[in-house]
Structure 1
Amino acid sequence: MDRVLNQAPLTQALLAEAHTWMALASRDGERLGEMIAAWPKSAGRRPEMLNLHHYFVVRHAYMSDSAANARALLNRIEIESTPPWLAAEIHGLRVEQALADGRILQAERMLGSAPDQVDPQAPALRLASVMVRWLQGKITDATFLANSLKGDPAASLRYQARATAVGAVLHCSADDVPMAQHVWRELQPVFEIGFLEPLDDVPEEFVACFKLDVQRRPASRPRLRARLHKNELTARELIVLGALASNSRVELIAQQLHVSPNTVKTQLRTLYRKLGVHSRDEALRKAVEWGVV
């Protein structure tokens, strides 16, 4: 860092930004903290660099398990005074925070009401859209969007890699383990150069699926992992949930779905367990809250 501070002010700011991104990409919390603490004062005189510094502070707070502080800092960043690419990063992170809090419907609305300077097709928002559909149980849609981002040459390596990781997990969640592992192997060259951020997108329950051989470290973004896996609904469960919204009797749902009442009862038990509820009314409230029905 001493080498950075010996440069001209603009060069100091650019070098500090580059070194801080490197610490973040490698998920090195200690190094990231050092870089933030040594952020050159000259950078604070430029609004965009000041907001970028705040963004790094937020990411470090997540890595330090200070989610409450991270959330508060994130909400205080003024997107209006940031360049479009950084505004998209911040808004995408806010969407991820809403998802981590279980506010799926709000997260979906946030995607459709981004600030004027944020491109709706920015990689950060496209990946957030994948997360929303994943949490809604729309696995096919989420996989399609993840593959689209993964193969977009206009997207940065960072977002191509994150989309690849999410796509692999989606395949694993659909019980297509061979395809999941095939997709995951595409990330090995990225991991070999020390870029470990895509690991933030892998739920703990899926670690065994990929036989991870790289060190897992604290997440540098909102902790979506457990919620993504636990609340995942299959296509059939979504159909049952939709039928539950229009029928209160098991017999009527069975007739509508052309199955036996016992089959519906089994599916409802699984559905209630995934939603963490014990009744039809609770299930429907949770479904509306998440934007599932």
Structure 2
Amino acid sequence: MSIHVLTGQGAPAVPGPGDHLPTRRPRTYPSDTSEAEWRILAPLVPAGGTRPGIGGRPVSYPRRDVVDAIRYVMRTGCQWDALPVDFPPHPLVKHYFTAWTRDGTLGRIHHSLREQIRQVEGRTADPSAALLDSQTLRGAETVPRSSRGYDAGKKVNGRKRHIVTDTTGLLLAVLVTGAGVQDRDAGHLLLWILRTVFPTIRLVWADSGYAGKLVDYATTMLGITVQIVSKLAGQTTFVPLPRRWCVERTFSWINRCRRTVRDYERLPEHHAATVYWAMIIIMGRRLTRHHATAPTLPQPARAP
């Protein structure tokens, strides 16, 4: 199993010697960052470059172009080597996708955006309640046998992503496993990590797949109350259930990026990274809307 939890911690980002290298590439794709989005993301993306006394290769391609190239792959679902020619070379883009996943940069970006959204919406930065659910995905031929499985209930061979969200649907944690892993087994691990990383959480809603010993374990060992939201009596079609609809909506948000609809990644942590990038796109645009609609405070009158 591959565990990925957004904590905002890890190795510190390595800043460059100055501002980001300016970009001259026209923004022509729907996945490109707008000027307002980049103003939010730029402080969170390492600028890179040569540092006095340490060294480092000078930056050749603007980091904004690299971010836009990653977002293009996530949004369209294309292969890395099918990137349009106006982006940086695909080996460089794939390198930063991997490096930022490994060194914690991706987690810090996601963590910061989530906190900003919660605060501008009048909530505390750390949630007190969460929702837990899973989704099974078909695995492409690039997914190795060692990290895939068979979900007998869904009749799907591939992987399963278990996510935890806050009550507004913002992502807190991702656990990627083989499709054959039971929800309650993954739930033990996710709840333990959730208690460690987000100690303010005391209540979690989940479906009946997490019922049983997991509820007792969470209460006695972690101090977390797990409430099971079961289907309605006689329910045979989809019905929005209280609380559970929030995490189901998050899955639909994630699936707007075609790269996440099926699992193409060789490593489970890279599939978790695609989920984070999908949420970063959503949160960045949500923040720009908040900033655009924020009331303008009157400026104090100048003294004559």
TM-score range, shorter chain: under 0.3
**TM-score normalised by structure 2 residue count:** 0.27
- Larger helix proportion of the pair: 1
Higher relative contact order (CA 8 A, sep 6+): 2
